[in-house]
Structure 1
């Protein structure tokens, strides 16, 4: 690394970390509660005492699965809503989301012979980055907590049912794919998945809320017993995996300071701006200084036309850092366009092209694409993205455009996507 890069890493490394050390750093896009400090303090105190949403062992297990994917032993299928709506926190909606992830993973496994790591983007999207610095409801963090808790409870209950995996995959019907020239092969993959009968696991934005649910494992505060083989340290028990967005990615800022000290897998989005800043080596050194496999996930999101120009240099920078990372391709964010009806949308073919090209670049660079990330929904009637075998066109977008944030692939497009990606991966 250049002298300035080394200086940045050394500056961060010299800090004494604690769950609240981020407060001494500049931290952007944090809500303030200027008119309700007493209520805010009471809410933070309550959140610091409520039961954790996830357990340290679950976090460790996910990190191990991600590490296996980074080694090319498994493939990550990650997806869900861009923003979770409180109104969608219902049993039927959550079950549809979970079933979609299970079915996609089962199809990919049957088509490629490679085990999948299914990561549901659920229970962590009830809050999003904000344009206004003022939060009018001091109890918003508590509201998010209870909705996340209900979501996780529903997911765990479904997975514990003896017949959930078998019935979910058994319900898979790919007749809607008949117009595709690949239908015969895809139908066989579906039949194979049913025969195998499969059975999944579920970002940090508001650091005061994250701090309240950051708990020490035995050895640092003696709050939790330490199961055999677990690393001592602090875990963010609001989620299995936490995210740093591009707008809050400052290397000397509060997000990086908080994230560097927790044991959870950390996701950092990588885009064109990251290329221009040339900060990947520093990022890797700061967020994964101990070079733990499965800890740092880099999700690229360039747009289909920019993958070949940007990804090779990013891969080279990470390789030179010597820090192990988990590479994923986000095929949706870089391919967002505005339709003639003024709605944001994404073209199915563009999403698939980005994934296919990223896979090719990784292979040519001696790297491993560990998985994909998609924004998608288990709702069949949603019309937010165009294309796919179901052939949604721009003039159809207004039929059921439900998202509060970014457009999602609907159920049929998501199932088709899993099979297109499986084709690109190839059979083992």
Structure 2
């Protein structure tokens, strides 16, 4: 997390222009936005939004601009983006230990990718805002009782009662408060010495020594340690290593929340979404005429769009024209999520049809969402080998097209859960019962995340030969 950057606020000099610009951010309201909460008390909603509009920004425009520069480097093949974290954050799990373990896991993966792939890694967490989830159905039925679907803690609670499932606008404020405390902890961890690469060994503390990839990581840590000691002996000053850049990202799903946290940058008079550094639009809400596309076209953050196996070059080009008409490097990222069985056909065709029209756009891979299955014993899960097959297909498609595989977007946790089948731990269907804790989608556990990092480092190395 970066510090000492320009704040976002309105000043008297640009107040009139600011009001006009902010008013334009309300165009989405006439577009029948999808996947939005249904609040039953308008006065309660307006009271919550009024308070939310008055709170300080969670992130600053200068930080978002810095991330844009880092993502632009990834588009040129000079860096690699690693975006990881929970499928859906919960208020209850925003504890210091759980946040620390997620950060540790991302830092460890980044160390493996940096060392193995010989390039900088742009570190982003699906953290401090990933509280909403799109759902395929508005309601859920259990034992003859039908209630609204769980849409994430920002909307309602997971318990199956009418009170739990009520769409509660007070949760918008809770999401802000939990995000603020999470960001505060992330800043402390990433600027206070915890993330110092010279402490690469200590990041394994608290994880099971019996994990299959533990020893492999320790061996890499020893190699990094030796290299750093050699450089230190040569007179290198490592003080800068005490801090790392770490950015926050989430899906910009709940538009009332995003709109209430929009602010004007005092430097430029342009609007930024201050709920996070990087926001993305999901596969379900990326239609060119959608409310989500319109809203994000009007803020200046770096943004992403998920593209599934049915996405065409026309979709990509129209989205780029709407969201990034000036072709600004680092502004737009396409996050492909094709599925292991479709990526080797769908992505090469998409890249070939786009051709050299979008050289400034960054392409990253989400190998999770296209590979969701239901196990024989009823668990929503994924197979680790399917996840890795999609990553391999992503690299192969970019190798074939002569384009740049810019990064990974994955759902992970630092906890020793059993939600994804396979990996070196060989989690089977019965093993899912041991620690299946996710509220929505299955996540890679710490060991599977490390295993992925080692395998992706090999793909990166091969791509740059």
**Structure 1-normalised TM-score?**
0.87
Q: For each residue in 1:95-120, what CA deviation from the matched residue of structure 2 results, as whole angstroms up to 9, or x when unmatched?
A: 11111111110111111211111111
Alignment partner of 1:273: what SS? coil
The correspondence of residues 343-382 of structure 1 with structure 2, limited to 5 A, is 343-380=379-416, 382=417
- Picking from 421, 429, 433, the partner of 1:386 is 421
Contact 1:48 1:212 in 2 (8 A): yes
Q: For each residue in 1:368-393, what CA deviation from the matched residue of structure 2 results, as whole angstroms up to 9, or x when unmatched?
A: 0100111111012x000111112211
Q: For each residue in 1:174-216, what CA deviation from the matched residue of structure 2 results, as whole angstroms up to 9, or x when unmatched?
A: 9656689xx77x6543323345496422211111211111111
RMSD, aligned α-carbons: 2.4
Alignment partner of 2:129: what SS? coil
Q: Distance in 2 between matches of 1:106 and 1:64?
A: 21
Q: Distance in 2 between matches of 1:93 and 1:18?
A: 39
The answer for the alignment partner of 1:121 in structure 2 is 126
Q: Distance in 2 between matches of 1:95 and 1:103?
A: 12
The answer for the alignment partner of 1:246 in structure 2 is 283
Matched, 1:410 2:458: no
Contact 2:201 2:221 in 1 (8 A): no
1:160 positional shift: 1.9
Q: Distance in 2 between matches of 1:148 and 1:16?
A: 23
Distance 1:253 1:194, change over 3 A: same
1:346 positional shift: 1.3
Alignment partner of 2:421: what SS? coil
The answer for the alignment partner of 1:95 in structure 2 is 100
Alignment partner of 1:162: what SS? coil
The answer for the alignment partner of 2:143 in structure 1 is none
- Picking from 44, 47, 52, the partner of 2:52 is 47
Distance 1:168 1:40, change over 3 A: farther
Q: For each residue in 1:271-303, what CA deviation from the matched residue of structure 2 results, as whole angstroms up to 9, or x when unmatched?
A: 12324x942211111111110111111111111
Q: For each residue in 1:225-244, what CA deviation from the matched residue of structure 2 results, as whole angstroms up to 9, or x when unmatched?
A: x2xxxx55110001111111
5+ residue gaps, structure 1: 1-14, 218-223
The answer for the alignment partner of 2:232 in structure 1 is none
Q: Distance in 1 between matches of 2:198 and 2:90?
A: 27
The answer for the alignment partner of 1:112 in structure 2 is 117
1:58 positional shift: 0.8
Alignment partner of 2:125: what SS? strand
Q: For each residue in 1:368-426, what CA deviation from the matched residue of structure 2 results, as whole angstroms up to 9, or x when unmatched?
A: 0100111111012x000111112211110010000001101100110111001001111
Matched, 1:289 2:325: yes
- Picking from 403, 426, 436, the partner of 1:401 is 436
Contact 1:17 1:261 in 2 (8 A): no
Q: For each residue in 1:120-178, what CA deviation from the matched residue of structure 2 results, as whole angstroms up to 9, or x when unmatched?
A: 11112122225449853121211111111111111111112124324752225596566
1:269 positional shift: 0.6
Contact 1:294 1:326 in 2 (8 A): yes
Matched, 1:137 2:164: no
Distance 1:247 1:117, change over 3 A: same
Q: Distance in 1 between matches of 2:64 and 2:26?
A: 21
- Greater displacement, 16-25 / 118-127: 16-25
Distance 1:178 1:342, change over 3 A: closer
Distance 1:234 1:71, change over 3 A: same
- Greater displacement, 166-175 / 238-247: 166-175
Q: Distance in 2 between matches of 1:22 and 1:81?
A: 28
- Greater displacement, 350-359 / 193-202: 193-202
Q: Distance in 1 between matches of 2:22 and 2:85?
A: 36
Contact 2:303 2:331 in 1 (8 A): yes
The answer for the alignment partner of 1:18 in structure 2 is 24
Matched, 1:279 2:285: no
Q: Distance in 1 between matches of 2:23 and 2:262?
A: 13
What is the number of equivalent residue pairs in this alignment? Answer: 397
